[in-house]
Amino acid sequence: MSRWKQPYLVITLCRLLFTLHEGRIPSKGEAGAWALDRLDREWHQLVRRALDDRPNPWDRVHQPAAPDTTQRTLRFGDYAATTTTRWAEEHPAFE
């Protein structure tokens, strides 16, 4: 995973979670701010880092992401998938 892809994935997952909870698609910055306000503190450092890495993404496209950040991003993906599944089960009209 590249240093470009890792923050992109985190912010995309924040946008997914925001959309589930708020019913509309946010900007990347709005989704990140929402995640910092609404998600468990466990994810705050990961989201903050993704927001901070947004300027000049092409500088990082061919650089590998740090292994620990990659693992946390994958765990965040699992969290988002679990949250999405739970939300879908609680809102059967959207099946």
Determine the pLDDT at residue 39: 97
- Summarize pLDDT for 30-83 with one digit per residue, the tens: 999 999 999 999 999 999 999 998 877 777 888 888 999 999 999 999 999 999
Answer yes or no: is pLDDT of 93 > 90: no
Q: Name the residue ranges covered by the structural domains of the chain.
A: 5-94
Q: Supply the angle between the helices 44-52 and 67-90 in degrees, to the nearest 10.
A: 110
Look up the pTM and report it: 0.85
Residue of 39, 44, 14, 43 whose CA lies nearest to 29: 14
Confidence of residue 95 (pLDDT cuts 50, 70, 90): low
Number of Cβ atoms within 10 Å of the Cβ of 13: 25
